Structure 1
Amino acid sequence: MATKPSVNPTPSQIADLTMMTVKPRSLWVDAWYRLIRNKAAVAGMIVIIFFLFVAIFANQLAPHNPLQTNAGKSFLPPAWMEVGPNGRPSDPAFFFGTDNLGRDVLSRTIYGARVSIVVGFLPTIVIVLVGSVVGLLAGYKGGQFDNILMRFTDVIYAFPDLLFFIIVMVTLRETFIGKLLNGLFLLFMALAIVNWVGFARVVRGQVLSLKEKEFIEAARCIGASDARIMFRHLLPNSLGPIIILSALTIPGMIITEAILGYLGLGLTPSTNPNDIFITSWGALMLDGQAAINAQPWLILPPAICVSLMVLAFTFLGDGLRDALDPRLQGTQ
């Protein structure tokens, strides 16, 4: 009697069938899952979201008016100190103490988050747009056009960034441009002018490696225009490095604003309570620097906030780099 052939699949056949039936995840979905498994990146995102919340709802979160001076309340120590070095007792109503004019340090620190958030994001958006367009054009066109753009990029890259910021802020501070948004517009412009070159180089390198690929040749064969090839095929395939570099550029913007504010060249302190941008963390550190030995709490809150923001974006940038690196696909 003939035996019936076995129909039980082997383990390898089961694995192959499972892979065929499971819908594959896209690159971005897979990158997201890799990112949220990175504990440092998740911690960075939590800190960034917290400071975004503080900046948006500063009016509701600040316990006092950041411009209000309280007579007889100057240089109060923070709440965790019973008596300050000057012999004054702390007041629970002023958790971080007060400055030399009796203004609440906690409220001013909360309002300072707005400037750092805006300075971190808005110039970076301009930098990404300018650098991506220049890099796309240089890499796709090639030849003499590429050579001219890259030599211009080298000239901008060779100029010292901080020196340029100081020259621009000192020269134009008292002009109409320098007074827009209490000096923030001029700061945005100074930051954007010299920081796009890194994005241009990265995007150009990506375009040079992609423009001879088969899918680009196929797009040319079906009659796709140069603009469509650049913005519908080359740019989307270059988004990984752009996103990573953006996340690592934002902390640089925040540090630069803090440095300029500490030098007295950043945001012009506002005296109008209706202004959105009243002070910055850099300006607060400048205010506390003169009294750092007697009242160190004046400089500590803004300095800690700047450090947390920079670390958070650095952790997020590292996490994005690991999540979007194609060489790591399938290793985690």
Structure 2
Amino acid sequence: MTFSSTSLESEATPAGDSSLDTTLESPPASGRRLLRAFLTDWGAMLSSAYILLIILMAIFAPLLTMLSGWGPYKFDQSAIDPNLGAIPIGPFGGISAEHWFGVEPGSGRDIFARIAYGARVSMTVALSATLLTTVIGVVMGLLAGYFGGLIDLVISRVMEFLMAFPALIFMIAILSALPADNRVFLLVVVISLFGWPYLARIVRSQTLSLKEREFVEAAKASGATSVRIIFREILPNLQSTIIVMATLAVPGYIGTEAGLSFLGVGVVPPTPSWGQMIAAATPWYAVDPMYFVIPGAFLFLLVLSFTTLGDRIRTIATSGEARS
């Protein structure tokens, strides 16, 4: 997963700049303006609605599968035809009132149940990796940009070292060598290992600019400690950048988890995963295309929704700063 820094390495607006006092006198109005812009953006609203739907599906997966009557590991041999190569009985992959999204060919497992539990894996990995990446990236970027010198040199060299690796190849190699236990945790750690430098580079760039501003110099002259300056003066001015970067990181991590599971080094069967389902559907797409289409559509729409939401947030934030 890589971040695009072209539009985000601009100079942040300092909260303490005296020249902007008239703008900063009414932050609630600015917040309301940005909220109205978000609520009137159909792309942002539709993307948010789909993301919320998937999150609710992941949270309430046990309840949903209880309502459907089929769990993710339960086989229904009566739903497949052994005389026709164990393909689902009925049209569209066996979609019916009993099996809402049909069944898996060969096994008869309920696809809806596996989609719901697969959403848990995708969202857990993506959101956890985004949180860990954001924390590490922000801390490292702030340290490198504010203190400079040897600290900046060491952190920058580490970032360049990790960014020089072909991340996907090394993720496959690392995960292949690790035990199958706690695979979700391992996915989060490995993805974050290669993801944090991209955010750290952006934070470092903006911190280098912000620390030269008058409001930081004034804080230093008043005797404020470095910790206070970083957390009270610099970090608040990086919030919009961090939010946009984190939102744009999620779809990349969802795709990374799906890709690793597709290649067989992600979550271990029979744990459901959308990428794993797509891989399992490959031999069957000619006789049962719905087995491939359904998890593929869920994955595509989730990645598209997060990408669209991130772009909309960036556009709204930029337009709001321009008006200010």
The equivalent position to 1:282 in structure 2, one of 270, 275, 279, is 275
1:58 aligns with 2:58: no
- Percent identity, aligned pairs only? 34
The residue that corresponds to 2:13 in the other structure is none
CA offset digits 1:5-24 (Å, max 9, x no partner): xxxxxxxxxxxxxx99x956
Q: 2 CA distance for matches of 1:29 and 1:122?
A: 30
Which of 66-75 and 97-106 deviates more? Answer: 66-75
The residue that corresponds to 2:5 in the other structure is none
Amino acid at match of 1:32: L
What pairs with 1:306-317 in structure 2 (closer than 5 Å)? 306-317=299-310
Amino acid at match of 1:137: L
- Size of the aligned set, in residue pairs, is 292
For structure 2, the 5+ residue unaligned runs are 1-21, 81-86
Q: 2 CA distance for matches of 1:27 and 1:217?
A: 27
Any runs of at least 4 consecutive aligned residues in structure 1 with deviations exceeding 6 A, and if so which?
A: none
The equivalent position to 1:139 in structure 2, one of 120, 141, 145, is 145
Are the counterparts in 2 of residues 128 and 242 from structure 1 also a CA contact under 8 Å? yes
Q: How far did residue 154 of structure 1 move?
A: 0.5
The residue that corresponds to 1:69 in the other structure is 75
The alignment's TM-score, normalised by the length of structure 2, stands at: 0.84
1:215 aligns with 2:194: no
Q: 2 CA distance for matches of 1:110 and 1:226?
A: 47
Are the counterparts in 2 of residues 281 and 302 from structure 1 also a CA contact under 8 Å? yes
CA offset digits 1:146-203 (Å, max 9, x no partner): 122111110111101111110111111x3xxx401xx111111110101000110010
Q: 1 CA distance for matches of 2:255 and 2:97?
A: 31
Q: 1 CA distance for matches of 2:30 and 2:201?
A: 24
Q: 1 CA distance for matches of 2:242 and 2:275?
A: 28
CA offset digits 1:63-110 (Å, max 9, x no partner): 1111111123223256xx27x6xxxx7643112221111111111111
Q: 2 CA distance for matches of 1:30 and 1:218?
A: 31
1:113 aligns with 2:84: no
Task: Specify which structure has the bigger relative contact order, considering alpha-carbon pairs within 8 angstroms and separated by 6 or more residues.
Answer: 2
The residue that corresponds to 1:96 in the other structure is 101
The equivalent position to 2:311 in structure 1, one of 307, 318, 321, is 318
What pairs with 1:223-242 in structure 2 (closer than 5 Å)? 223-242=223-242
Q: How far did residue 292 of structure 1 move?
A: 1.2
Q: How far did residue 35 of structure 1 move?
A: 2.2
Instruction: Give the structure with the higher percent helix.
Output: 2
The alignment's TM-score, normalised by the length of structure 1, stands at: 0.82
Q: 2 CA distance for matches of 1:286 and 1:93?
A: 25
CA offset digits 1:228-264 (Å, max 9, x no partner): 1111211111111111111110000000111111111
Amino acid at match of 2:58: A
SS at match of 2:77: coil
The change in CA–CA distance for 1:91 and 1:321 in structure 2 (over 3 A counts) is closer
Q: How far did residue 269 of structure 1 move?
A: 2.0
SS at match of 2:278: helix
1:124 aligns with 2:130: yes
**Which one has the largest radius of gyration?**
1
The residue that corresponds to 1:179 in the other structure is 181
For structure 1, the 5+ residue unaligned runs are 1-18, 271-277
